[in-house]
Structure 1
Amino acid sequence: MAVVFVVARLLQARHPWLGFVAAFAEAAMVGGLADWFAVTALFRHPLGLPIPHTAIIPRNKDRIGANIAEFLEHNFITHEVLQNELRDVDFAGVSARWLAEDANSRAVAERLVGTIPAVVNMIDDRDAAEFFRGALGSSLKDVRLAPMLGQVLNVLVAGRQHVRLLQRVLGLVAKALEENRGYIRQKVHDHSPSWIPKMVDEKFYERLMNGIQSILDDMADENGEWRARFHRSIEDLIHELETSPEYEEKLRALLARGLHHPLFREYVGTVWSDVRARLLTAGTSPDSRLLARAQAALQVFAAALQQNPAIRAKLNDWMRGFAIEAVVERRSLIVSVVQRVIDKWDAETISQKLELQVGSDLQFIRINGTLVGGVVGLLLYCVSLALASGQ
């Protein structure tokens, strides 16, 4: 515009119409310079001169950061905005469809199962055994053992399971006697005085075996005296277990001794070692059944979720509410990150970042200022000519 202005002024005497061009160029030059000054004053001192009210952004960097943070907090990170943005997001459906794919469910199962060895290795074997023993003792602390045992026996009696158990025991005893006749005969002979004839020992042995067999037969007879005694004994035991505090104390003492017995401690340690070995194998083997079951469970869950809109809707509501509350409750932390980052920038950095973001628009501001200034200057030149011709 400066070049056009100079050329138009030099040639205006020979070409009067160039007065319009010169007026346009003169005003455009002024408009362009004014807009250049205004835009430049936002980011730095024009020509490096410390003119008042210039370099606005560098001088107000901290205040701008605080205002941006406050603007984000109160206009973007709010219940209303997040609710509207997340209303149509199907979190549960997307998750279900993603888990339904074999590769994805396999990856999740591997990640879940893969954490088992790390967790197991963090646990000391002695601590684990002591924990299980303590957990068992704590779980039984408030349980009345005698009445519970009485109820178990009641159930067995109602289903005649006690009779089956007795018959099973009698059968095992009879079988043991039959299979060990030679051993029993030898023991009878070994404990008999040497002066007693073998025939007498044999008679004694036969009478002993016949007597034991007779007792077993009587006990096996459902209508016999032994069976009646057995029933009465069971009923008396059930009554005592349900009513007698003495039985409860005895069972408590027995349980306490058992839990603190070295054999029980050793057994718990053995069980934990076996469980630990299985968990480590399952967590490291790519073909473990635990991994396959975990993947199958994830796919079943995904399929069920896809087929149940009501559950999906509830899960979506829960996830949406959780996400909104989590973000809104921490919005002050979120915006403080924005403010801290801006505070760490130096004045030149923030000016460059903002100028790069709006650089093309700033160029158009200068161009538009030049054109608008030129049009205004041309109009004013026309008005001045009209006023001069009117005089």
Structure 2
Amino acid sequence: MRLRRIRRIATCLLAAMAGVFLAARLFQPEYPWLGFVAAFAEAAMVGGLADWFAVTALFRHPLGLPIPHTAIIPRNKDRIGASIAEFLEHNFITPEVVRNELKDVDLAGVCARWLAMDANNRAVAERLVGTIPAVLNMVEDRDAASFVGGTLASSLKDVKLAPLAGQVLSVLVANGQHVRLLQKVLGLVASALEENRGYIRQKVHDHSPKWMPKMLDEKFYERLMDGIQSILDDMANEQGEWHGRFHAAVTELIAKLEESPEYEARLRSLLARGLTHPLFREYVASVWADLRTRLLAASESPESRLLLRTQSALRIFSTALAQNEPVRMKLNDWLKSFAAEAIVERRSLIVAVVQKVIDKWDAETISQKLELHVGSDLQFIRINGTLVGGVVGVLLYSITLLLGGH
């Protein structure tokens, strides 16, 4: 460990100065010049011991003696924690500092490049799809039906249904779509009649008197079918009377829908009965159950179409975001503003966590942690103090000799 090595060097240097001092004092009578060496070593020992005392007093009592104003950090642990928290809050987690740090960060670009990698968009897609079962399991089928009904009712509460229906019909009439719709309905009716001729023949036969000859029964069926087909043909004729009647009826209906409160009340009553009808709830529940089954099956398959489409959508999104600089800049501005506001607004919580963690540490723990981080630099103070003290000692010894001292 670096701290132990530097501490050992500082201690060995202090011990070496003590040895040099003793040797210089012993041989100084024979070699007067050793007075400079002795002066260097003596002052070095004083400086080294003083700095050792100062450094040690920060973290513990020197030699275990309860000397006043020592073990400064353990005794002031709580105050140090509060000071660090306050320093962080007012000097680091400020709007200016946070915005300045985020100023040149391309958050959207980083996200786009990260999401463009197949491994990453695959992981995100799996995470998104993987949340589907948890979400679906929280929703019951009956709750889904109630939610759909309640949501529709709430959404349409302030909507004027009759005028809205009148506007839709007006658009259809203006584009001639109502005629196409009528033609489509008539075509469906004609197809239904043709496909069910045998069924209709049987029904006519079942409801005919038993005494009626079968030939007359068959003629009645043929005339009935011919009559219905003739009516359908007349209704399908765009130049015929039926089309005029139909257009007039639609026009009249549009006017009533837009003006009549009675139609609004009827439509709203019809909607309310429909949304609360058991058949509607059962239908929504069955649709939801089928959708839920399909989603669960898709979320559990490692190569489901849902997963692949989600991954493809993420890849397309990342590519579009990387290529569209205006959108990326706007997204960056939003992300930076959001991040800065979120961090600054919660800075009291952040510093509270810091202070809470420090408060939980015992005095010995915080002393060890701080000494581990700054102790090696403090040991250099001991080394410097030893050397600087020695130099000062030589200077003082030299001044003493110049002044005629002994």
TM-score, normalized by length of structure 1?
A: 0.90
Q: Which residue number corresponds to residue 360 of structure 2? A: 344
Aligned ranges for residues 160-309 of structure 1 at < 5 Å?
A: 160-178=176-194, 184=200, 187-188=203-204, 190-197=206-213, 200-201=216-217, 204-309=220-325
The structural deviation recorded for 1:315 is 1.6
CA distance change for structure 1 residues 161 and 78 in 2, over 3 Å: closer, same or farther? Answer: closer
Aligned ranges for residues 71-90 of structure 1 at < 5 Å?
A: 71-90=87-106
Counterpart of 1:323 (choices 327, 332, 339) is 339
Counterpart of 1:40 (choices 26, 40, 56) is 56
Whether 2:363 is the aligned partner of 1:365: answer no
The structural deviation recorded for 1:174 is 4.3
Q: How many residues align?
A: 390
The structural deviation recorded for 1:324 is 1.7
CA distance change for structure 1 residues 316 and 14 in 2, over 3 Å: closer, same or farther? Answer: same
Describe the superposition over 1:259-295 as per-residue Cα deviations: whole angstroms up to 9, x where unpaired: 2222222111111111111221222222222222221
The structural deviation recorded for 1:89 is 1.1
Q: Which residue number corresponds to residue 125 of structure 2? A: 109
Unaligned runs of 5+ in 2: 1-16
Q: In the alignment, is the contact (CA less than 8 A) between 2:99 and 2:340 conserved in 1?
A: yes
The structural deviation recorded for 1:191 is 4.2
Q: In the alignment, is the contact (CA less than 8 A) between 2:55 and 2:379 conserved in 1?
A: no
Q: Which residue number corresponds to residue 121 of structure 1? A: 137
TM-score, normalized by length of structure 2?
A: 0.86
Counterpart of 2:371 (choices 336, 349, 355) is 355
**What is the distance in 2 between the residues matched to 1:99 and 1:200?**
79
Aligned ranges for residues 3-152 of structure 1 at < 5 Å?
A: 3-152=19-168
CA distance change for structure 1 residues 73 and 170 in 2, over 3 Å: closer, same or farther? Answer: closer
Question: Structure 1 stretches (4+) deviating beyond 6 angstroms?
Answer: none
The structural deviation recorded for 1:308 is 1.7
Unaligned runs of 5+ in 1: none
Describe the superposition over 1:188-234 as per-residue Cα deviations: whole angstroms up to 9, x where unpaired: 55544455555555554554444444433433333333333333333
Aligned residue type for 2:42: E
**What is the distance in 2 between the residues matched to 1:179 and 1:52?**
110
**What is the distance in 1 between the residues matched to 2:197 and 2:68?**
121
**What is the distance in 2 between the residues matched to 1:28 and 1:42?**
21
Q: In the alignment, is the contact (CA less than 8 A) between 2:44 and 2:385 conserved in 1?
A: yes
Q: Tell which deviates more after alignment, 88-97 or 75-84.
A: 75-84
Aligned residue type for 1:246: E
Describe the superposition over 1:154-175 as per-residue Cα deviations: whole angstroms up to 9, x where unpaired: 3333333333333344444445
Whether 2:403 is the aligned partner of 1:387: answer yes
Describe the superposition over 1:75-104 as per-residue Cα deviations: whole angstroms up to 9, x where unpaired: 222222222222211111111111111111
Q: Tell which deviates more after alignment, 236-245 or 116-125.
A: 236-245
The structural deviation recorded for 1:253 is 2.3
Q: In the alignment, is the contact (CA less than 8 A) between 2:161 and 2:267 conserved in 1?
A: yes
The structural deviation recorded for 1:36 is 1.9
Whether 2:394 is the aligned partner of 1:378: answer yes
